[in-house]
Structure 1
């Protein structure tokens, strides 16, 4: 039986238009990546966007520290900023829920 291959952890931020930005996460997002995640969350174009889309369709896992970093970054944005999490697996959604992110974000399949 072949071993299942998971994508290597990675993060990328891209502007989708003048006021919308996307954070694309892949792989297993753990505490070793926390500083890189915090840099992405605080850097333009994400920090300047009115709408955030977090693509988690390729995330195989996320720890509570990284989920909480997403929550903190979302809470630092103006109330008019919207956050949408797309494609998170059930286990990832559960961790995001434990961090409280689902209280400030729209969770999409």
Structure 2
């Protein structure tokens, strides 16, 4: 699902669900594709994600992610001065496969 500015009733495919300074939880849903890449990149620059040492990427509701978005996640994680510990939770097989193709499995742990 991409975000359509003309239909605000559609929820964004990624959001910061929780952050407490130590841990941040990003929740993904629907389809994360090229149409949502800018939204993802802007969210990953959010000041609330600078301090947490642990990121949980909750992907159980994510049906599809394209390589451009997977690479954006990888770039963010690997370019941080002090990289966060990243855990991907609940990724479906197709999502897991795309994240692995992008190389996210080299810097993140996968659960469920």
User: Shorter-chain TM-score: what band?
Assistant: 0.7 to 0.9
Structure 1 window deviating more from structure 2 (39-48 vs 95-104): it is 39-48
Superposition CA RMSD, Å: 1.7
Cα deviation, 1:9-54, whole Å, max 9, x if unaligned, reads 5221133422111111100100110010011111121232111011
- Aligned match of 1:56: 59
1:1-109 residue pairs with structure 2 within 5 A?
10-79=13-82, 81-109=84-112
What secondary structure does 1:72 align onto? helix
In structure 1, stretches of 5+ residues that fail to align are: 1-6
Q: Structure 1 length normalisation: TM-score?
A: 0.86
Compared with structure 1, are the counterparts of its residues 99 and 17 closer, same or farther at alpha carbon in structure 2 (3 Å cutoff)? same
Structure 1 window deviating more from structure 2 (69-78 vs 81-90): it is 69-78
In structure 2, stretches of 5+ residues that fail to align are: 1-9
Cα deviation, 1:72-93, whole Å, max 9, x if unaligned, reads 0000224452001100000100
Number of residue pairs the alignment of both structures matches: 103
Q: Structure 2 length normalisation: TM-score?
A: 0.84
Distance 1:8 1:94 in 2: 25
